[in-house]
Structures are given as C-alpha cells and as structure tokens.
A and B are shown apart, each in its own frame.
Chain A
Amino acid sequence: MTQAAVEIDSISYTYPGSSSPALDRVSLRVEDGERLGILGPNGGGKSTLLKIILGLVSPTSGRVVIFGRSPEEARREGIIGYVAQKTEIETGLPMSVQEAVTLGAAWRVSPWRATPRSVRDHVKRVLALVGCEAYAARPIGRLSGGQLQRALIARALAADVKILALDEPMVGIDASGQERFAELLEGVHRELKLTTLIVSHDLRAIVAGSDRVACLARRLHSHTSPEGLTPQILAELFTHDVAGLKGSLRGMHVHAHGPGEPCGEVHDGEEVSGEVQLGMPSRPAQEKPRVNP
C-alpha cells in the first residue's frame, strides 16, 4: 500500500470547557492526488478537523499522519497550502498581487538571498494557472472578492505544496463565479495533481472539486464518492439549501452502503424541481478517478 497523503486514525477533540466532543472518533484516509470534500453542517467539526490537519490544534486523542509526518512537522515544512474561509488580509498594505503570492514561498528563503529564480518562475506559472496574470501588478488591497480568492489560492500554491486545503471556498461567490471557480479547481488539479481538501457546508463547493465526499457531523457519517451521492440526493440536498436552511445540512444523514452503490437517506421529502438543477455539477462520471479506501 502506498503512503497516504492524510491518514486520520480515530481522532477526537473536545474544546476546553465543553462537555461534548466537537469530533468523535473520526478516521479517514486520503490518498495522494485524491480530492476529498468534507461536507457537514455548521458546528459539525469541519473547521476543527482542518485545524488538526494543519497542525494548529492537537487532537484530544487519536493520531494524524501527513505524508509520514506529524501535522506540526508538515506545517513547518510547508506541505499544506491553505486558503482560509475569511480572507481578511490587510488591504492597506501597499503590495502587489505578485509580491503577496511570491511571499507564500519566499518567506522561507534565507534573509541573505534574493528570491530565487525557481520561486519566481513557479509563481508566474501559478498566477497563470489561477488566472491572476491580468492583475498581478495591482495592489492586493484593490481586488474584488473573487479576484482576491484566486490570488490567495495562488499564494497557497506558490510554495512546493503537496496538499491544497480550502475552507468554505464558495462563500460569498455568485452563481456564475461558482462555475468558474469549479473550472479553476479542475484546472489546478489537472496541472498540479495535488491532494485537495475542501471543507464546506455548501454542497456545490464539495461537488465542484471532489472525488470523494466525507459527511461530517461530529462523527464521520460516511465517506462516499460523488457517484454515491446520486443526482437525486444532491438535488434534494440542494432543495434543502434553497428551502431556507441556508446551507446548513443539519438533520442530513447519508449512509454509505458500499463503494459504488447508490446510497443516502435524507429526512425531508421535498420534490426536485427544475431550478435546483442549476446547482448540479456537469462533470461526466467517467472522468472521475475512483479511489476506494
């Protein structure tokens, strides 16, 4: 068996002062190059799980291994490129997009040295890949929300990362932007073949860029491929979204019955209507690489 990108072995985490755990014996294995979506309601422990993978929080019990290292080591080595949910950058800092993206890799360069040519070339490539070239010279404080997010993805990719972690990437992006964002993620994956983790309560974000979906609400309810989540289920979930649950999938239970089998059980009998199909991804099934744990 090859080395896993991320191996999570029965981790639990309880916030100090809290009686119930935020994460309860969660186990997951993400293969190298696989794209995992972590789907769950708000407060379901997604962000906590991501913080543990990033080495910012230590689990109360259990073990996480990232390419054979501890999460802290992985963080020190810069193995994971991270794009935060809230893109709260200091917009007053007079710095061009290119300078900010370069810092993503160059902050590790020895103070004596100028930014090496290899880093600058890689930054150019990454800027082109996420479509930031046109405004690479613009001050980063003057970008629109979507442009800034692209720039921050470029920054996450600027270092020689093996994993790209995105926290709630679809928040605050309009419908047309979401489609372009999904294409962007496809393009990045095609080019760099990175292991990708997408954490979201928004199904569209998950389906846009995942080979496999883990449903997390304190415990891991299932992990299955998007084929496992049939269009029917996805549409019904999306109906929930529209029906005023505002992206919260509380009460959702999706059970995997086995790889490839249709699965899922949603406690809401709402019918699928035409308009919700807008949120459906249009990815042919045969393109998806199948990775079964």
Chain B
Amino acid sequence: MSTLESLMTSPMYSSALLAGLAVVTMCGVLSVFVVVKRLGFVGQGVSHSAFGGVGVASLLAVMLPAAFAPHDGGGGMGELLQFGVIVVFCIATALGMGLMSNRRTLPADTSIGMFLVGSMALGAVLVHVSREMARSRGQSSLVQSWESILFGSIFLVTRDEMYGGWVIAALVLGVAWWFRRPLLFWVLDEESSSAFGVPAGAMKGTLMVMLAVAVVVAMKLAGVVLATALLVMPGAIALRLTQRLWPSVAISVMAGIIGLIGGLLLSLRLDWPPGPSVVLTLTVIFALASCIVWMSTRWARPALVGEPVR
C-alpha cells in the first residue's frame, strides 16, 4: 500500500500520475476509433515521425540557441518550443499520410511506411548534423536524450507539463465531442458520407490531427516505440467486452486508467521502466478480457456487457 500512497502523495509521482491520466483519458476515447478504422499503423507512423521532429528541433536549437536554451529550473520555454516543433512535425506527417493514402495509386500502408522511414532517416541525419554543428561552435547539445524519446520518461514530467497535458487532452476531447455525430457518421460509412453532405475530408483531417496530438503527448508517457499501444490496446480491450458505442468508450478509458495505475505501481515497486510497465499491464488486461470472453462463449453464457436485452 505504501507504493500506492507514495504514487498519490509524492509531488513527483503525483505529477506523473495526473499527466498519465490525461494521456490515457484522451487516448482511451480515440482508441475505439483507431481500432475500428484500423488506424493503428497510422499511430505508429506518426510516433516514429517524431524523430524527424526531434531532428528539426535539434537543428533549430543549434541555430537559435537563445530561443531553445533551458531556463532556470529546467523545462521552460526551450522544452516547450522543442515540444511544439515535434507536434507540428507530427501533425504535418499525419496529414501527409492521410492525403497520400487518399489517392488510389498508393496503398495506405505504403504511404505510412514511407513517411515513417523517411522522417526517421531525416531525424537521424539532422541530429547528426546539429551535433557536428554544436561541436564546431563549442555548444553543448541542447536536445533531450534518445532514450527518453524512445521509451518516455513519465516520472520526469513537471507540474507545468502535467497541466499542459490536461489542457491538450481537454482540447482534443472537446473537439471529439463537438464533432461526435459527423465523425461517427464518417467512421461508420466513409464511402457514402459525402453524399449525405458530411464534410468527409474535414472529418478525416480532424481525426488525423487528434491522433497526431494524442500520439505526441502519449510519447511523454510511453515513448516513440510504445505510444501506439495506448491508442490501440484500450480500444481493443473494450471491443472485446461490448458491442455498444458509449459503453465501449467508457471501458476503453477505464482500461487505460487501470493500465496506467497498475503500470506505475509495478514500476515503483520493482524499479521497472514506467512506459513498458504500463503497456505490459494493458497487455495482461487484454489477455484477461479475451479469456473472459472465450470462457463465456464456451459455456454459452452472455458476455459481461453483451448485446442489450430486448
């Protein structure tokens, strides 16, 4: 219990917990749509394209050291600016992938794959170039380490970043709520939505931007490699357990929250890295949900939250 207490009360851990809650709430809502629309690979593409954003940010940091310099007490404008560059880069990539896969000549997975490797290559080259430039100018490297980008660093989240995370989550959830009906129409029936007057292109773009923002924020928690898990696993768990719309969104968010708290507790108790611990917990929840469904169908009992009884 002491681990749970310290997670709640210690300022550092509680920032991590609250920031994580913002991430899993936002991702949990989007997750249902990611799973239904098979956008998991898009999430993967967007998160990996963050390397390109890191490359651009580190080049800018060398060229404009004043703007990117960390302020007293760490974080501050430099971090924020760097985060902004990564967000813009990821959104641009997401929209690019969306536009390219629109064309019948290029399958979606090919276009996503090209953006993924293209921006990773760009990131690697730009980080190298900026390090060389920094060395020749006698500056220190100003950009965060690869490891924290790869696997996240939730326990290093500051209070301000946590508030920022909630603002972003509130914005994304607000947009999702505002467009819920046309968005659902588009998700259900992309082909004929425009014949009904639904702004199909705008809905696709909105979902892509929300996805990109969610992935970038999720990277703070789980890193590039595992960010997609937060957009895929909660929805997958929810759709195992229910075939109803709003219950599935609620279960998805709840699965995310349980995965987050369980993962952070594991991480504190056993000194495991937090991001992978959260993802592992979600994997276990998915396995449990699958087991429950398998057993309930095997013994011909209704699923936990199955079809509504008429």
Contacts and interface: CB of A to CB of B under 8 A. Distances in A.
Contacts of B248: 94
B181 interface: yes
Given A88-B191, A93-B36, A94-B248, A109 B197 contact: no
Interface residues on B, range: 20 to 34
B128 interface: no
Contact of B181 (A56, A93, A107): A107
Contacts of A159: 196
A125 interface: no
B177 A111 contact: yes
Interface string A56-90: 10000000000000000001111011111010111
B135 interface: no
A86 B192 CA distance: 9
A111 B179 CA distance: 7
Interface in B35-85: 35-37
A90 B185 contact: no
Which among B32, B37, B197 has the highest number of chain A CB atoms within 10 Å? Answer: B197
A137 B189 CA distance: 19
Interface in A88-123: 88-90, 92-96, 99-100, 103-104, 106-109, 111
Given A90-B36, A94-B239, A109-B181, A75 B245 contact: no
A211 to B, nearest CB: 24
A279 interface: no
B185 A103 contact: yes
Interface in A106-151: 106-109, 111, 137-142
Given A90-B188, A90-B189, A111-B181, A56 B194 contact: yes
Select the residue from B36, B181, B198, B245 with max chain A CB neighbours within 10 A: B181
Interface residues of A, number: 36
B195 interface: yes
Interface string B151-190: 0000000000000000000000000011111101101111
A5 B196 CA distance: 18
Contacts of A77: 197
B192 A82 contact: yes
B235 to A, nearest CB: 10
A109 B179 CA distance: 10
A54 interface: yes
B147 interface: no
Contacts of A81: 196
B242 interface: yes
B36 A137 contact: no
B64 to A, nearest CB: 40
Contacts of B244: 94-96, 139
A149 B192 CA distance: 13
- A75, A81, A90 interface centre (most CB from chain B within 10 Å): A90
Interface string B224-256: 000000000000000100111101100000000
A110 to B, nearest CB: 10
B308 interface: yes
B307 interface: yes
A137 B310 CA distance: 7
B178 A99 contact: no
Contacts of A103: 181, 184-185, 188
Given A56-B195, A88-B191, 8 more contacts: A75-B195, A82-B192, A90-B187, A94-B243, A94-B244, A111-B177, A137-B308, A139-B307
8 contacts: A56-B194, A75-B195, A84-B195, A88-B189, A90-B190, A96-B308, A103-B185, A108-B197
Interface of B: 32, 35-37, 177-182, 184-185, 187-192, 194-198, 239, 242-245, 247-248, 307-308, 310
Interface of A: 54, 56, 75-78, 80-84, 86, 88-90, 92-96, 99-100, 103-104, 106-109, 111, 137-142, 159
